[in-house]
């Protein structure tokens, strides 16, 4: 099968859309399928091109069997509504002609979180007379309202109309959560056009390892400190000022907070730490993907935090699966479907979002009970192996793409030891 996939983010960028696309695509390529990804030069979230790349008009490379076509885009840091809008618009305008000139695919996929990528994929699919699959990572228009990017008015109406257009025109919508599907069903989207393929983790990349691996020494964190680590975008959606508030509450205690990543709020968070004169908080900045398992293994718990907004009860942060895979307990400040996953797996503790006192008390409890922390971590690893293996999820999505294209997929390559009894997660509705 020939798959054409449009995504605004792709490795070496390390945000969730980039990694999901790459990890699925490389499995499809391993199984003998022809995969082409249209993307831009890597620059998220700083707006600066990563080393070894140029913001060229058109460039082609291969990554683990996946053909990657990179087009020119207007680059800006991941903050500020108008400049980011130009970034999104430029990718739509440049990705469409690049997609159209590729060898005719069997199916065209466009992924969110930004809608204009999906618009380009829809247009390319229609021009080539092929089915269009919309991979839905965020619920629109609610997602931009939840982070305060757009509060209402004409812009919100345009975004809402665009989302409705894509929902109605997609031959299939692949959601990363069951919650999104429930909302779409209530909006009249036919069951036959809905499927769920949750996120997961590539278990051969993420596995338990020694805590004493040099990372703490490098970051200036004492070996005896209980290390709570947040890895990901430091953005508007994440409510990380509450984590700083928890750090202030545990000042003087052997609990240290590590932030790994970049984003729109990093400077403000660092300023707050400086103003409060906190010595128990460290910012490590963005890190290469291959270092993330090292960082997680050096930690005692992994923090997953979002703002206190009803919308976020419908999302599942992909970082919970990486924490599970390295057998680290999760402290999850998110309600809804992701809380159900962590609770059902026995992989962590769920706290209220933006509740610094509850967060601080939970960290104290896990620090004082290493047996509980170890049990939660082992439960998470078991769940990652049995339910959230990315390789199995990639093959489930491949089945959705094949059915949408009216094709039959041949047998996959032999199973690998990184997926043990993976439970079905793809649910053609």
Quick one: pLDDT at residue 429?
41
Contact 340, 334 (CB under 8 A): no
Asked, as a colleague might, if the bond just before 424 is cis with ω within 30 of 0, I would say: no
Residue 363's pLDDT band (boundaries 50, 70, 90)? very high
User: In this structure, what token pair is assigned to residue 53?
Assistant: 């790349």
* CA–CA dist 11, 262 (Å, integer): 15
Q: Which residue has the tokens 């005719």?
A: 104
pLDDT in tens, 169-195: 999 999 998 888 888 998 899 999 999
Q: Which residue has the tokens 């924490």?
A: 323
Quick one: pLDDT at residue 46?
86
pLDDT in tens, 200-251: 998 988 999 999 999 999 999 999 999 999 999 898 889 999 999 999 999 9
Class of domain 2-200+389-405: alpha beta
User: In this structure, what token pair is assigned to residue 13?
Assistant: 């960028």
Quick one: pLDDT at residue 151?
52
pLDDT in tens, 377-418: 999 999 999 889 999 899 999 999 999 999 987 655 554 556
pLDDT in tens, 282-297: 999 999 889 999 999 9
Task: Tell me 133's DSSP state.
Answer: E
Length of the chain: 429
Cα torsion through 237, 7, 313, 420, rounded to 10:
-120
Fold: same for 2-200+389-405 and 215-385? yes
Give the residue extent of every domain in the chain. 2-200+389-405, 215-385
Residue 356's pLDDT band (boundaries 50, 70, 90)? very high
From first CA to last CA, the distance across the chain in angstroms is 23
* CA–CA dist 284, 184 (Å, integer): 39
CATH number, span 215-385? 3.40.50.2000
| Residue predicted with more confidence, 81 or 28 | 28
Residue 424's pLDDT band (boundaries 50, 70, 90)? very low
Contact 254, 367 (CB under 8 A): yes
* CA–CA dist 25, 21 (Å, integer): 6
């Amino acid at each position: 099968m020939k798959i054409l996939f449009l995504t605004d983010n792709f490795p070496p960028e390390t945000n969730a859309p980039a990694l999901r696309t790459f990890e699925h695509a490389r499995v499809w390529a391993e199984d003998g399928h022809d995969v082409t990804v249209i993307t831009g030069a890597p620059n998220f979230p700083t707006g600066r091109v990563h080393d070894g790349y140029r913001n060229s008009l058109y460039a082609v490379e291969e990554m683990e069997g996946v053909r990657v076509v990179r087009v020119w885009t207007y680059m800006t840091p991941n903050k500020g509504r108008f400049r980011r809008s130009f970034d999104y618009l430029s990718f739509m305008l440049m990705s469409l002609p690049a997609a159209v000139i590729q060898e005719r695919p069997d199916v065209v996929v466009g992924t969110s979180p930004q809608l204009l990528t999906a618009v380009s994929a829809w247009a390319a699919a229609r021009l080539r007379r092929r089915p269009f699959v919309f991979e839905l990572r965020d619920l629109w228009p609610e997602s931009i309202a939840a982070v305060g990017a757009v509060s209402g008015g004409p812009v919100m109406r345009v975004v809402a109309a665009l989302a409705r257009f894509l929902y109605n025109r997609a031959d299939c919508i692949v959601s990363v959560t069951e919650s999104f599907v429930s909302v779409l069903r209530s909006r009249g989207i036919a069951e036959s056009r809905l499927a769920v393929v949750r996120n997961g983790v590539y278990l051969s990349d993420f596995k338990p390892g020694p805590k004493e691996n040099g990372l703490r020494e490098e970051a200036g964190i004492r070996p005896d400190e209980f290390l709570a680590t947040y890895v990901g975008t430091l953005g508007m959606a994440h409510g990380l000022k509450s984590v700083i508030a928890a750090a202030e509450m545990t000042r003087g205690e052997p609990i240290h907070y590590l932030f790994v990543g970049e984003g729109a709020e990093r400077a403000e968070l660092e300023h707050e730490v400086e103003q409060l004169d906190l010595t128990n908080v460290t910012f490590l900045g963005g890190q290469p993907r291959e270092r993330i398992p090292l960082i997680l293994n050096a930690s005692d718990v992994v923090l997953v935090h979002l703002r206190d907004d009803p919308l976020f009860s419908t999302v599942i942060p992909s970082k919970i699966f990486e924490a599970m895979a390295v057998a680290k307990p999760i402290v999850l400040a998110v309600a809804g479907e992701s809380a159900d996953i962590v609770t059902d797996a026995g992989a962590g503790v769920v706290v209220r979002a933006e509740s610094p006192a509850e967060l601080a008390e939970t960290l104290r409890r896990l620090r004082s009970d290493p047996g509980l922390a170890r049990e939660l971590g082992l439960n998470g690893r078991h769940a990652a192996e049995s339910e959230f293996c990315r390789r199995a999820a990639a093959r489930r999505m491949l089945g959705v793409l094949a059915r949408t294209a009216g094709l039959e997929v041949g047998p996959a390559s032999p199973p690998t030891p990184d997926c043990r009894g993976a439970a079905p997660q793809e649910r053609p509705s």
